[in-house]
Each structure stands twice: as C-alpha cells, then as structure tokens.
C-alpha cells in the first residue's frame, strides 16, 4: 500500500515546481506582428498588448485574457478527469 504522506510530499514538490515555472514564464514575452496586427503575450499566456492598425484597446486585452483563462480552466478540468484527480494518488477512485 502506498504511503499517503509521501504522495502529499510529491504533490507539494510538483506544485512548487509548477509555481516556479509559471514565475519564469511570466517574465518571457513573445511579440508577433503580421500586417497591421501586433500581439505581445507573456510566456504564462497573458496578453500584454493587442493592437490593430496602431489602435489598442485595454478592453480587448481584458476580454482576450478572460478567454484564455477559461480555455485553461477547461483544459485543467479535462486533464484532472483523465488522471482521476488526487484519488489515484491515495489508492481511491
């Protein structure tokens, strides 16, 4: 039988690694320019700048970031359902 406390320690280590990676990614910036459209996004998938024909909109950036966040939440839920959540780590279903 697996030791549930070891599983908690492993989970904590994974969480710390993910947090560190997210911090590192947030410092990265990707800039894409095509025609009159410019998008600047951070490595942790947050839109920093969005402009069309030199016109930018804080409201458009906010809406794009909400859409990205929702898609990330859906992906996380699907991944969690595929892996069985924490129950699999503790021998449960």
Sorted by where each begins, the domain ranges of the chain are 28-84
Short-list 52, 87, 45, CA closest to 66? 45
In angstroms, the Cα distances linking 79 to 4, 26, 46, 75 are 22, 22, 21, 6
> Tens digit of pLDDT for each residue in 39-80?
999 988 999 999 999 999 999 999 999 999 999 999 989 888
Short-list 51, 56, 53, CA closest to 32? 51
What tokens does 46 get?
């947050």
> Tens digit of pLDDT for each residue in 6-23?
666 777 888 888 888 888
């Amino acid at each position: 039988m697996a030791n549930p406390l070891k599983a908690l320690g492993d989970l904590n280590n994974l969480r710390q690694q993910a947090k560190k990676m997210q911090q590192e990614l947030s410092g990265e910036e990707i800039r894409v320019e095509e025609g009159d459209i410019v998008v600047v996004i951070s490595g942790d998938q947050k839109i920093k700048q969005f402009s069309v024909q030199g016109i930018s909109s804080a409201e458009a950036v906010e809406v794009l970031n909400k859409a990205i966040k929702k898609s990330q939440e859906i992906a996380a839920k699907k991944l969690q359902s595929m892996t069985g959540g924490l129950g699999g780590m503790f021998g449960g279903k």
